[in-house]
Amino acid sequence: MKSIHHASPSARASGPDKAVERLFELAVLLADGMERGLAERGLSRARAELLWRLGQQGPMTQRDLSRALACTPRNVTGLVDALEAGGLVARHSHPSDRRATLVTLTERGAAATAQMQADYGDLAMALFGDLDPTDVARFIGDVDRIVKRLRGEVVPTAEPG
Amino acid sequence: MKSIHHASPSARASGPDKAVERLFELAVLLADGMERGLAERGLSRARAELLWRLGQQGPMTQRDLSRALACTPRNVTGLVDALEAGGLVARHSHPSDRRATLVTLTERGAAATAQMQADYGDLAMALFGDLDPTDVARFIGDVDRIVKRLRGEVVPTAEPG
DNA sequence: TATTGTTATACTCTATAACTATA
DNA sequence: TATAGTTATAGAGTATAACAATA
């Protein structure tokens, strides 16, 4: 379990500095929390994401998975190996291309993705379920603005201390 | 460069679902962007964090570093080995405890942490510098509320698709 | 006895390169 | 000739366990 951010927020940071500090803190909490939850079910972030993709988009070739996950085909081989050994996915021959392998969710794999989906909804309600929809919408707008800027801006090499 | 979240936001998600979706998107962007920026300078997240700690808190034993970074002493050995090979930190004998090793920043290491600090400030201004301080303060409050809930809540095993 | 840092070993994620089987 | 997936190899980050030197 790693953490990007440990120290308590500086008392005298400027508004923008404080805001970025909190954002990093939030990012770390989300990532660590997710990883911890996944680990309790024997899943890593990388394996869970592959599973999730199959759940969202249905059976795929490993090549498609490597594109969806933005990693190398070799990497997919390893992830599928592990998930297959755990009984969460299965390899099938592709009906029209004998080079390709179709990866599908097993029953256990489908159950795992359903559980992930449910947990995701639970988190959403725990964080925002009691808020006025107007406030939620405003907050979404705020985050959207930041996301858009990040997609166009240089991102820091630093972390809050 | 990994990504937790790839697909476009679902069009029909509820407000809370959308909000969490955006938060994960933001977390991924921050993490990936930071890692990319660090990589341009030959640093990884783990090594950068060790450097950052030394910059914030001054010379430390490896044992202290393992506590600060929440990792094993063995892990610290590897990180310090790498940073030492890169000329960013140096090992010194501890003045009063001959078992311990004091790790210090070299000049190059200090320059690297200064650069990280500067980049961090640049990001803060790029994201929030043009906003009304009142809006920034409100946003900080929103994120604070989420952070507090995350510290007390179960965090999901799922990721947005 | 307890602590500091190391060696030894192992697992996960990731990458490149070379190779096989197919297209 | 190009593509899908594999083996081979490598490096980073992480962990546990055993060990040496020191406290």
- Is 90 exceeded by the pLDDT of residue B160? no
Q: What pLDDT is stored for residue A156 in this prediction?
A: 52
Q: Which nucleotide has the shortest C1'-to-CA distance from A75?
A: C14
In this prediction, residues B11-35 reach a mean pLDDT of 90
A63: closest CA of chain B, how far (Å): 16
Q: Which residues contact A8 (CB under 8 A, 6 or more apart)?
A: none
Q: With contacts defined as CB-CB under 8 Å, which chain A residues touch B31? A: 4, 27, 31
**Per-position pLDDT tens, chain A of length 161:** 333 443 444 445 789 999 999 999 999 999 999 999 999 999 999 999 999 999 999 999 999 999 999 999 999 999 999 999 999 999 999 999 999 999 999 999 999 999 999 999 999 999 999 999 999 999 999 999 999 999 985 445 554 44
A23 touches chain B (CB under 8 A): yes
B148 touches chain A (CB under 8 A): no
* Separation of first and last alpha carbons in chain B: 18
| pLDDT band of B13, cuts 50, 70, 90 | confident
- The bases of strand D with some atom under 7 A from any protein CB are 3-8, 12-18, 21-23
Q: List pLDDT tens digits, range B101-145.
A: 999 999 999 999 999 999 999 999 999 999 999 999 999 999 999
Q: Which residues contact A99 (CB under 8 A, 6 or more apart)?
A: none
Distance from C-alpha of A77 to C-alpha of A3, rounded to nearest angstrom: 28
Strand, coil or helix: B10: coil
A94: closest CA of chain B, how far (Å): 24
Distance from C-alpha of B133 to C-alpha of B143, rounded to nearest angstrom: 15
Say yes or no for a CB contact (<8 Å) between B71 and A2.
Answer: yes
Residue B91 CB in 7 A reach of strand C: yes
For chain A, give percent helix, strand, coil, nearest 5: 65, 5, 30
Q: What pLDDT is stored for residue A52 in this prediction?
A: 97
| pLDDT band of B152, cuts 50, 70, 90 | confident
Q: What pLDDT is stored for residue B137 in this prediction?
A: 97
- Compute how many other C-beta atoms are within 10 angstroms of the C-beta atom of residue A121: 18
Q: What pLDDT is stored for residue A13 in this prediction?
A: 75
Q: Which residues contact B150 (CB under 8 A, 6 or more apart)?
A: A26, A29, A30, A33, A127
Its sign, for the CA torsion A34, B136, A145, A21, is: negative
Between the alpha carbon of residue A78 and those of residues A75, A95, A112, B79, the distances in Å are: 5, 23, 19, 26
In this prediction, residues B52-59 reach a mean pLDDT of 97
In this prediction, residues B78-94 reach a mean pLDDT of 98
Q: Which residue is nearest to nucleotide C15 (CA to C1')?
A: A72
Instruction: Select from B23, B49, B51, B71 the residue whose CB has the most chain A CBs within 10 Å, as the one to mutate to test that interface.
Output: B23
Say yes or no for a CB contact (<8 Å) between B136 and A36.
Answer: no
In this prediction, residues B70-80 reach a mean pLDDT of 98
Whole-model pTM: value is: 0.86
**Spatial distance from the CA of B135 to the C1' of D17 (Å):** 53
Q: What pLDDT is stored for residue A161 in this prediction?
A: 40
Q: What pLDDT is stored for residue B106 in this prediction?
A: 98
pLDDT averaged over every residue in chain B: 89
Q: What pLDDT is stored for residue B67 in this prediction?
A: 98
Q: What pLDDT is stored for residue A112 in this prediction?
A: 97
Q: Are strands A89-93 and A101-105 parallel, antiparallel or unpaired?
A: antiparallel
Contact A143, B26 (CB under 8 A): yes
Between the alpha carbon of residue B137 and those of residues A21, A139, A140, A149, B133, the distances in Å are: 13, 13, 16, 19, 6
Strand, coil or helix: A63: helix
Q: With contacts defined as CB-CB under 8 Å, which chain B residues touch A68? A: 6
Say yes or no for a CB contact (<8 Å) between A26 and B31.
Answer: no
